[in-house]
């Protein structure tokens, strides 16, 4: 437990940031799951729409500092590759 005034403030700030980061990460994961679901169903149009929604969400999560920008880039790249592969197979 924090004993100093500055430590108590730091604790409050950490809790607020943790909640904010958790919400951002959850939003990103749900967007990625939507792309995965569209790929699993085999719907090219749905996959493309879900990807176009997911890319800005992932970028926003990185810009807020919740995830690293290279982590975001890797996620976008892998999702895009999967959607393109699905379209090429059809």
pLDDT at res. 1: 76
CB-CB neighbours of 45 under 10 Å: 8
Where does the chain have alpha helices with state H?
5-41, 44-63, 69-89
The per-residue pLDDT for range 31-80, each reduced to its tens digit, is 999 999 999 999 999 999 999 999 999 999 999 999 999 999 999 999 99
Where do the domains of the chain lie? 5-89
pLDDT at res. 37: 97
CATH superfamily of 5-89: Ribosomal protein S20 (1.20.58.110)
User: Can you tell me the distance from the alpha carbon of 10 to that of 90, in angstroms, rounded to the nearest whole number?
Assistant: 54
Cβ neighbours of residue 10 closer than 8 Å, sequence gap 6 or more: 2
Q: Which of 25, 23, 45, 21 is nearest to 33 (CA)?
A: 25
pLDDT exceeds cutoff 90 at 90: no
Q: What is the DSSP letter of 64?
A: T
Predicted TM-score of the model (pTM): 0.90
């Amino acid at each position: 437990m924090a004993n100093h005034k500055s430590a108590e403030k730091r604790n409050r700030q950490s809790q607020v940031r943790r909640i904010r980061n958790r919400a951002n990460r959850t939003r990103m994961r749900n967007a990625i799951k939507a792309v995965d679901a569209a790929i699993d169903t085999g719907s090219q149009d749905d996959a493309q729409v879900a990807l176009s929604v997911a890319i800005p969400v992932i970028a926003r999560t990185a810009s807020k500092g919740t995830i690293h920008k290279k982590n975001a880039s890797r996620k976008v790249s892998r999702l895009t590759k999967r959607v393109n592969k699905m379209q090429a197979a059809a």
